[in-house]
Each structure stands twice: as structure tokens, then as C-alpha cells.
Structure 1
Amino acid sequence: MKLKLRQRITRMKSFRKKPLQQSSLCRKHYCLLLWLSLSLYLFFPPSSLLRPTPSLDKTTLSLKPAFRSSALVERSPRSKLPSVRVYVYDLPSSYNRDWLSDPRCGSHLFAAEVAIHEALLTSGFRTTSPDEADFFFVPVYVSCNFSTVNGFPSLAHARPLIASSIAEIKTKYPFWNRTDGRDHMFVASHDYGACFHAMEDVAIADGIPEFLRRSILLQTFGVTSPHVCQEAEHVLIPPYIPPEFLRSPPPETARRDIFVFFRGKMEVHPKNISGRFYSKKVRTEIWNRYSNDRRFYLRRKRYDGYRSEISRSVFCLCPLGWAPWSPRLVESVALGCVPVIIADGIRLLAVDFVNGAGEGRREAGSSP
């Protein structure tokens, strides 16, 4: 089957919402953790901005939650949230704080591991008494070892670093051995979660390391079909977006003079080290078919002010990269642009838990 881009664009004009039924099956701790991750990472009440938030490192700007919605907070007050307590391990700084010496650590694509840690440290869910904890959070930053070749995070050290952190807590605390790590949480905000590789075939071959298979993973990767990289208990979290997105013009006042927008890597020929087409050639097809279409505002070069372009757009393309998920989905929603997701089988955040979270149109197909 071919990617039906033309049909997708035609159907943008008649965009309609279709409610999805709420899932009736949900394990207790899965639901609790979903609410926990969402409330901490996404839905802090705006009043929390008035209180100073201590940073993990004085030389680093304090990270705020990636996205806030006062409307959702009003519908889901804290008093109605599950009573769950989380103990945050105080690991040696070599596992987390030391990495913040590179400012990119707290602001790049995978920075959810930093944002969630900082949010937990000041959260009402946190307990300083491990004996009363329901869950244990292990703060390890594995995405801050940036390659000197391309500037992207290198994950080669992820497995040994996490294995070392587990050995550390097993030596100093009794809680891991009590459940074999089943009530311990880790953030895996990478392309293919705890498989720790950007190439899907390599990620599948490597799989999730044995020492994480019984723990709970907070990950951005999720697909609707069975996949090796989601074969551990996990909670789907949104990709990190920087707080600057909230400083853009409010979506309701923005002038929408761009019909379809996309800015990002669109290869004409594969130029990466793998020799493969990025995004399974989807982005190449978008460029080849629509770069001369006046309805499409397509740009291949980086631009720091691209959030202003999203604010001006009606539809924002969210094609897959190496993995199906993309921060563009969250960026688009935050700035009032309708996201057009081009990634087969992607699992959307909270679709089984929140009414309306999966509203939209789905069209089956496969990448060219």
C-alpha cells in the first residue's frame, strides 16, 4: 500500500471529530501512574508558577512542566486524584545532576527525564519516607551524553548507567529486592523507549534489558500492535516541549494564514550514516509531492522561531521520524494547530482514559 497523502489533505477540509469509547480494562497501578505522570508533567495548576521551583543545579535554569492546561486542572482537581505516594531516590550526582553542566540536557527532545524528576521533587505526591511509598522513582539521565559527531544524544551508555543505578539502590536500600523492582519507575523518553536505539531493527534486536523488564517505564514510544520495545509495564507520556512554547501568541488570537505547515528534515536522498531514508521516506514523499503547492508551507532548514509558524497554521503535519512519535504533536496542540499525524499504528496519549483524547480521523495505510 502507498501512503495516501492526497486523500489525507482532502479530508483535512472536512475534519470531523469522532468520540472513542473509554477502555474498560485498566490495571490499578497503570491508572495511578498515568494520572501521576500527567498531573506532574502536564497539568500543574498555573498558581504553581508563583512559587519558586528549586533547580537541581544552580547553574541551570529550572525546568517547568512542558505543557499546562488550567481547564483540565479545573475538571480534575487534586482532591480527586488517586492517593499515591512516590519516593524519589537520592542517587549520586553522577547519575543525574552532573549531566546538567551541559545546558542541552534540560531542553532537548528527550528532556522529559529531567522535567519529570524536577516535578516530582516539589510534588505533593512525593514522600520522603520510603516505607510509606507506593512507587519508587529512579532518576537517571541517560540522554545527556551528546555525540561530538552530530550533536544528538548517544544512548550507548544507557544500559550500563541504569544497571549501575540499580546496583546502587539494591546495595543501599531493601525496596528493590522486596518486589524485584516491580514498583520502581524509570523514564525512557527515547525513540524506542528502553530499547535504547534510534534504529527500529537494532532496537528490536536489543530489546528491553532484563533488569528493566519487571519495572514500570514512563515512555514516549507507543504503538497499537505488539512490539518488543513495549513488552514491559509502561505508561505513555508526552514528548518534552520547552516552556517557551507557552510564550507564543495565544492560539485564539493568532492569524492563521498558513493552511498546511511542516518544518523539519525532509531528505531528497538518504544522507545519514545508516544509508536509509529518514522517516521511512514519508517526509521525502511530502517534499516531492507538495513542495510546489502554494497551500503547503514546507521548510527543510532549522529555524529557532518556528513556533510562530505553528501559531499561524491551520494544519500541522506530524510525520514519523525514526520512531512514530514526534514532539510536533504536542507543539501543535499547545499552539492551536490541528495535528495531522502520519505514522502507522501510533498510540496516542491517554486515548483509553480521557474522554475525547482520541477524537479525530484515522486512515489505515503504510509507508512507501
Structure 2
Amino acid sequence: MNSSLKIFVYPHKPNHPFANVLLPYKFEPGGNYASESYFKKALMTSHFITNDPSEADLFFLPFSIASLRHDKRVGVGGIQDFIRDYIYEISHEYPYWNRSGGADHFYVACHSIGKMAMEKAVEVRGNAIQLVCSSNYFLQGYVPHKDASVPQIWPRQGDPPNQPPSKRKTLAFYAGAMNSRVRESLVGLWKNDSEISVHQNRLKTPYHESLLGSKFCIHAKGFEVNTARIGDALYYGCVPVILADHYDLPFADTLNWKSFSVVVSTADIPELKKILKEIEFEEYVKLQKNVMEVRNHFQWHTFAVNYDAFYMVMYELWLRRTTIRVY
């Protein structure tokens, strides 16, 4: 992959009316949807870029769904029209889209609004590779094995902290808004428990202290199957508990999630404590050790570092590239 994968990015000048949407973000990305911007910044400075379309394995559609959402000229209601017009523009200016119907093209979207962005560009939804955070097996428009799951990661600077299992006194931790039945069930059943610490709002104490002090950190689906909580848990060395049915987990083509997380059906929330308590300490230590080994795969850098989130996404693209080039 490192030596042969080549990506052509549709070029746009800095004076383009939508340069803010099409060119890499000028500043350090932040917020819940930073994965989208980090990927673009890392790609544009990587050795995977080619200026020769004839040698390209894949073509990157560089629009940013998060930027379109915040652009007053577009907004949530205008994203579908923008994407439709953008595909029309590149398919008439360049020959590359038409020769494959977009099958060797891809885009990245971390905000959940991305799931509706292609409604007026059906060839994108049906043919192009969609790298998205909202990777629900039953989501209309998401096609497993064609599309790929990208982790939603809150950006953090510096090396991750280390906290050994012996100092993690809380069995399991969760805090977040009540925007799904899964979260309502979780908090309703366990809010008064002495070993499982769940909260229906933001904590008054530092969030990271709870992550560092817990053996297991619960990822409970909200509006979508994805949140930044998996990335949070891994960064702080806490074993993730996945409470999100039908979630096509990030990098599942490469990583064995059972080796560093616990996946629990949402129907088994009443049995959550029993399930976690049945994990013997030796088994937990193995899970936590594996968390420490995989967490570098869930970190972004402005300039990519080997095996970080950028390289993991590139490997997902490598697996999905077409094996036959159409000239």
C-alpha cells in the first residue's frame, strides 16, 4: 500500500468561492467531527497524492460535509443540491467520474448529516466509497464492504496517559445526553448502582478522571450508532463497552474488536453488570493491555504517523480500490 497506492484530488484554487469547503482546513481541527478535517490535512501532505490522474487508483471528492453544514450559503438544507451540482461539475470538466460511474471515487463525512447528503446524487451513494462515522448496517445508503467506518475522535494533544488496571476502581462509566432509548434504558436501570457510574448530563468533575478511574467505559448510541466515546475510552486506556446494535465498527477489516472491547446487545442492558462482573481479572488485564496496543490507531496527527488513524483509513481504501483501471 505505502509504495503503490495513489490518490488524485480534484484541484481547486484558493480563490474558489467554496475554498472553505473544498480545501484543507487552515487551522488545527477541533470538535466532535475533527476526523473529517484531519484526514484531508494528512492526505494532502502525504506521499499517496499524485498529480497524474492516469496513475491514480482512487479519486478524492474533497468537499467537507461539516463545512457545508456551517456555511450560510448552503446550510443543512442545501447540502444535497451542492453535492449534486459538484458531481455535475466534475463529471463535465473531467473524464474520470464517467468512466466508472464514480466507483473509484471516495469522500469523507463524520457528521451524521452526511447520511442524507447524497439523496440527489444517487451515483455517489450507490457507487463511490463512503468513509463515514455513522456506519450503521441498517442505514439507508451505507453499504458495508463498499463503504467503510471512520472513527469519531475528539482531538487531543500529547501522549495518552497510562493508568494500570489496579488503580481503576469503578466497574463501568458513562455520561451523556439522553437522546436515545438506549441511553435512557442504561441510565434508568443503573443510575443508583454503586459499581456502575452512569450520568444523564455532563459531569461537574473532570471527564478524564472518570475515564482513567474506570475499568470499562460505555459507548451507548445516541442519535446515531457512533460517538467520540470509543476514542475517549481508548485514549485513557479504558476498555470500551459497545452498546450500539448494527454498528459497523471502525477498522473492523483489520482489528479484532473482541480482543480489546466488550460488545453487548442493547437488549442485554439489564444484564450489563452481570456480563462485566463475569469477566475475570486476568481476562480484563488482557483486554486492557490490548487497548493500550491499539489506541495509536485511533489518534489523528496533522502530519500522519505510521499506523495512526490516517494510515488505518488509507488501508481501508486500499482494500476497496478497484483492481481494474479504466483508461
State whether TM-score is above 0.5.
yes
User: 1:294, CA displacement in angstroms?
Assistant: 2.2
- Where does the alignment leave 5 or more consecutive residues of structure 2 unmatched? 270-327
Q: Is residue 120 of structure 2 the alignment partner of residue 120 of structure 1?
A: no
1:88 aligns with 2:9: yes
Q: 1:146 to 1:138 in 2, by over 3 A?
A: closer
Distance 1:161 1:126 in 2: 25
Cα drift, residue 102 of structure 1: 9.9
Quote the residue 2:57 is aligned against: 134
Find the partner of 2:88 among 158, 161, 167.
167
Quick one: structure 1 residues 367 and 116, their matched pair in 2 at CA, closer, same or farther if it must change by over 3 Å?
same
The alpha-carbon deviation at position 236 of structure 1 amounts to: 1.7
Task: Tell me the residue number matched to 2:195.
Answer: 295
- Kept in 2, the 8 Å contact 1:349–1:357? The answer is no
> Quick check: 2:22–2:62 contact (8 Å CA) kept in 1?
no
Match of 2:135 among 222, 238, 248: 222
Provide closer, same or farther for how the CA distance between residues 253 and 242 of structure 1 changes in structure 2, counting only shifts above 3 A: farther
- Report the AA paired with residue 91 of structure 2: K
Gaps of 5+ in 1: 1-79, 197-205, 267-277
Partner of 1:65: none
* Cα deviation, residue 339, structure 1: 0.8
Which residue of the other structure, out of 215, 219, 238, is the alignment partner of 2:151? 238
Q: Distance in 2 between matches of 1:103 and 1:121?
A: 12
Query: Do the aligned partners of 2:211 and 2:236 also contact (CA within 8 Å) in 1?
Result: yes
State whether residues 101 and 123 of structure 2, in contact with CA within 8 Å, keep that contact through their aligned partners in structure 1: no
Amino acid at match of 2:140: V
- Cα drift, residue 288 of structure 1: 2.0
CA distance in 2, matches of 1:130, 1:293: 59
TM-score, normalized by length of structure 2?
A: 0.67
Superposed CA deviations along residues 54-106 of structure 1, whole A, max 9, x for unmatched, are xxxxxxxxxxxxxxxxxxxxxxxxxx646210012223554453699999993
CA contact (8 A) 1:189 1:220 kept: yes
Amino acid at match of 1:174: P
Residue in structure 2 matched with residue 352 of structure 1 by the alignment:
253
Distance 1:87 1:101 in 2: 15
Could you tell me how far 1:263 is from its partner in structure 2? 1.5
CA contact (8 A) 1:111 1:143 kept: no
Matched, 1:331 2:232: yes
* 1:172-183 aligned within 5 A: 172-183=93-104
SS in 2 for 1:156: helix
- Partner amino acid for 2:253? D
- Structure 1 segment 24-103 matched on structure 2, within 5 A: 81=2, 83-91=4-12, 93-97=16-20
Q: 1:101 to 1:334 in 2, by over 3 A?
A: closer
Corresponding letter in the other structure for 1:342: L
**Aligned pairs (5 A) from 1:186-205:** 186-191=107-112, 193-196=114-117
Specify whether residues 85 and 265 from structure 1 end up closer, same or farther in structure 2 by C-alpha distance, changes over 3 A only.
Answer: same
The corresponding residue for 2:182 is: 282
Q: Which residue of 2 aligns with 1:74?
A: none
Asked if 2 retains the 8 angstrom alpha-carbon contact of 1:208 and 1:229, the reply is no
Counterpart of 2:211 in structure 1 is: 310
Report deviation, 1:364.
Answer: 4.2
Q: 1:202 matched to which residue of 2?
A: none
1:143–1:155 contact (8 Å) kept in structure 2: no
Structure 2: distance between partners of 1:319 and 1:154: 28
For the Cα contact (< 8 Å) 1:318–1:340, is it kept in 2?
yes
Determine if contact 2:148/2:250 at 8 Å carries over to the other structure. Answer: no
- Following superposition, the deviation at residue 361 of structure 1 comes to 4.8
Task: Using the aligned pairs only, state the percent identity.
Answer: 25
2: CA distance between counterparts of 1:163 and 1:240? 29
Change (3 A) 1:208 1:158: same
Give distance in 2, aligned partners of 1:82 and 1:295.
Answer: 50
Query: 1:194 touches 1:209 (CA, 8 Å); kept in 2?
Result: no
CA RMSD of aligned residues (A): 3.5
**Per the alignment, do residues 118 and 230 of structure 1 end up closer, same or farther by CA in structure 2, a change over 3 Å counting?**
same
Q: Which position in structure 2 is the counterpart of 1:106?
A: 29
Secondary structure of 1:115's counterpart equals helix
Instruction: From the superposition, tell whether residues 101 and 217 of structure 1 become closer, same or farther in structure 2 (CA, over 3 Å).
Output: closer
